[in-house]
């Protein structure tokens, strides 16, 4: 009787683990989001604005706030369409013959960085995204982005087997404590938020060889780790992109005048001569211009 009961308990536990573990998302949720609205609600950060007005206003101006649309008319949105029409649909073994065939796995090569939470959605959401891309529907696409809860919760822990999985009732900052908000009443210290690896999660090392069809966009973190740091660089991404000009969550880059000025040292040396070129042309004026450009950023430029 006891043997039978403990065997049953064991079998039940094993079954539960087998069902739960493979479906587990970063939060430990087992349900996948079935619509764009459902996925947006899972990481709804609108409530943060009430108390963190400045960070919110800066973030709204950042590239992170429109990571599925991009700059200008919607450069990222347009490239997502190119991925489908000139990539997926032309590749014999991709499984995509028409836009209606696009599934989550086809978008993750880009979404891994442009929308990491897409991993927690069903193929119906992939179809909703494709429709919005075709309709140039920026409003719908902008519901999904890299917002407060992506950096301060979902992606705030990189080594989850060491530091645990992010909790839904917590925001992750620089210290432990209570948090004066209804839904996230706990404040926890994130082990990576102030480190360059935080940004390195999406700002690339090199080709994503873990995928069936590797692709790559950003590589800044690779040259940061393998060129800037070995050359004696000491600044973090946050030092240069958030703190240096005190522009915080706008995280400026080359479109920002202060950042442009900080990007390269330019040393120009000009000498002029009267040069005896040849018999026919005689003495002609000539200038020798020496230009030395030194990259002062923490990585190769341009990137992405």
Structure tokens at 46: 């609108």
With contacts defined by CB under 6 A, name the span among 31-39, 191-199, 266-274, 277-285 that binds ligand HEC.
191-199
Q: How many residues sit in the footprint of ligand HEC (CB under 6 A)? A: 84
Cβ atoms of 56 and 48 within 8 Å: the answer is yes
Should residue 71 be labelled a site residue for ligand HEC when binding is judged by CB under 6 A? yes
| Whole-number Å distance between alpha carbons of 98 and 109 | 18
219: CB partners within 8 A, 6+ apart? 203, 204, 205, 206, 299, 300, 303, 304
Give residues 30-59 in contact with ligand HEC (rule: CB under 6 A).
Answer: 45, 47-48, 50-52, 55-56, 59
Pick the closer one to ligand HEC by CB: 122 or 235.
Answer: 235
Structure tokens at 39: 């996925």
Nearest approach, Cβ of residue 278 and ligand HEC (Å):
42
Using rule CB under 6 A, residue 259 touches ligand HEC? yes
The answer to whether 108 touches 118, Cβ cutoff 8 Å, is yes
Residue 156 in the binding site for ligand HEC (CB under 6 A): no
**CB-wise, 10 or 254, nearer to ligand HEC?**
254
From residue 45, alpha-carbon distances to 6, 28, 35, 51, 65 in Å are: 45, 19, 17, 12, 11
From 25, 79, 122, 167, residue interacting with ligand HEC (rule: CB under 6 A): 79
Residues 170-189 that bind ligand HEC (CB under 6 A): 171, 173-175, 177-181, 184, 187
Q: Nearest Cα to 59, choosing from 240, 258, 248?
A: 248
**Would you give the binding string for ligand HEC spanning residues 218-237, x where CB under 6 A is met?**
x-xx--x----------x-x
Q: Quick one: which segment of 15-23, 24-32, 122-130, 197-205 binds ligand HEC (CB under 6 A)?
A: 197-205
Nearer to ligand HEC, 122 or 219 (CB): 219
Q: Which of 239, 198, 248, 244 is nearest to 221 (CA)?
A: 198
């Amino acid at each position: 009787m006891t043997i039978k009961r403990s065997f049953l308990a064991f079998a039940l536990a094993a079954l539960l683990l087998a069902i739960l573990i493979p479906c587990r998302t970063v939060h430990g949720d087992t349900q996948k989001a079935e619509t764009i609205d459902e996925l947006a609600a899972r990481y709804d950060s609108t409530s943060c604005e009430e108390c963190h007005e400045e960070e919110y206003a800066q973030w709204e101006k950042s590239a992170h706030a429109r990571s599925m649309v991009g700059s200008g008319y919607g450069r990222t949105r347009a490239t997502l369409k190119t991925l489908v029409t000139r990539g997926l649909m032309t590749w014999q073994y991709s499984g995509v013959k028409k836009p209606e065939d696009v599934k989550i796995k086809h978008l993750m090569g880009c979404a891994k960085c442009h929308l990491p939470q897409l991993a927690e959605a069903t193929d119906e959401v992939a179809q909703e995204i494709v429709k919005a891309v075709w309709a140039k529907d920026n409003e719908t696409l902008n519901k999904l982005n890299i917002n407060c809860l992506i950096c301060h919760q979902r992606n705030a822990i990189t080594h989850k087997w060491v530091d645990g999985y992010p909790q839904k009732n917590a925001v992750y900052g620089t210290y432990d404590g209570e948090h004066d908000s209804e839904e996230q009443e706990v404040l926890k210290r994130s082990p990576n938020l102030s480190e360059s690896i935080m940004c390195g999660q999406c700002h690339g090392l090199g080709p994503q060889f873990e995928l069936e069809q590797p692709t790559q966009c950003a590589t800044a973190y690779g040259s940061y780790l393998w060129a800037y740091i070995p050359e004696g660089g000491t600044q973090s991404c946050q030092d240069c992109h958030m703190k240096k000009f005190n522009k915080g969550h706008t995280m400026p880059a080359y479109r920002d005048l202060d950042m442009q000025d900080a990007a390269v040292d330019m040393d120009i040396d000009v000498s002029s001569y009267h040069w005896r070129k040849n018999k026919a042309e005689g003495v002609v004026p000539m200038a020798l211009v020496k230009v030395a450009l030194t990259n002062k950023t923490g990585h190769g430029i341009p990137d992405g």
